[in-house]
Amino acid sequence: MTKTHWISKRTAVAQIAREMAAIGLVSASSGNVSLRIAEPDSPPLLAITPMGKPYHDLKDEDIVVCDYELDTIEGELAPSSESLLHVGIYTRRADVGAIVHTHALHSSVMAVTGEEIPVLLDEMAVSLGGPVKVSDYAFPGTEELADNVCDALGDRAGAIIRSHGAVGVGRDLREALNVCILIERVAHIFTMASLTGKVNPLSEDTIERESAVYRMRRGLPTQ
Ligand SMILES: [Zn+2]
């Protein structure tokens, strides 16, 4: 196995990570991005952003390929300190191919208030599969945090991590990033709407019909 076996996947992760930073969803080296690697005759692996490397200086070859024990298979740096969160999601969600975790501003407001974002807009049901729930608190980097976030995710595409940030999952990297962009937007909208005292979620019937589109697109069982 050469040291550049997965360079195209590492490049793809680095590009999305730099984009995530460029649009302001993270700063310095906070947050992280990963891509599932599932190949025949290989244990399950992931390509993930490294620990402590600022995005302005992130190179394609800085992305780490590691197994689910977090042993490095390819790359020179240590995998993200939040890698267990990614492993936990890949283990519990077969439909997920990529994960983006942000410390974005408005998402973090929800992480502080602990308030679930109800389904306020059609695109939330279609693209996220329902409301954005908030996980119970757990210490960063732990399996407990991964478990709590998976519980908050359910079969939806995004969740708020209590006192921490947000996570979005997708079939590919672009979809996972778009989920985080949408979470940030609806967190902002929810905060603004709450100030007016007029938060009007969609009806249960509409949410059910629109989230069926989400489940169909992602190959999830219909409810
Ligand atoms: Zn984080």
Low-confidence ranges of the chain (pLDDT < 50): 1-2
Task: Check which CATH number belongs to the domain holding 190 and give it.
Answer: 3.40.225.10
Residue 21 maps to a domain: yes
What pLDDT digit, counting tens, does each position of 17-68 carry?
999 999 999 988 899 999 999 988 889 999 999 999 999 999 999 999 999 9
Catalytic residue among 61, 69, 76, 82: 82
> Is 82 designated active site?
yes
Q: How far is the CA of 119 from the centre of ligand 1 (A)?
A: 24
Q: What is the pLDDT of residue 168?
A: 98
User: Rounded to an integer, what distance in angstroms lies between the CA atom of residue 77 and that of residue 91?
Assistant: 23
pLDDT given for residue 27 in this prediction: 87
Is 2 among the domain residues? Answer: no
pLDDT of residue 192: 97
Give me ligand 1 centre to Cα 223, in Å: 32
- Residues 115-125: pLDDT tens digits? 999 999 999 99
Predicted structure pTM score: 0.96
Give a yes or no: residue 67 inside a domain.
yes
Task: Judge whether 174 lies within some domain.
Answer: yes
Q: How many CA atoms lie within 13 A of 134 on its CB side?
A: 19
Rounded to 5°, angle at Cα 59 from 55 and 65: 100
Number of folded domains that form the chain: 1
Q: How far is the CA of 206 from the centre of ligand 1 (A)?
A: 33
Instruction: Report pLDDT for 42.
Output: 87
b/e sequence 137-168, b meaning 16+ C-beta within 10 Å: ebeeeeeebbbbbbebbebbbbbbbbebbbbb
Q: Flag whether 176 is in a domain.
A: yes
Half-sphere exposure (Cβ direction) of 54: Cα atoms closer than 13 Å:
4
Phi, psi values for residue 58, rounded to 5°: -80, 125
Provide the residue range defining the domain that includes 174: 7-217
Q: Let me know if residue 1 belongs to a domain.
A: no
- At 1 the pLDDT is 47
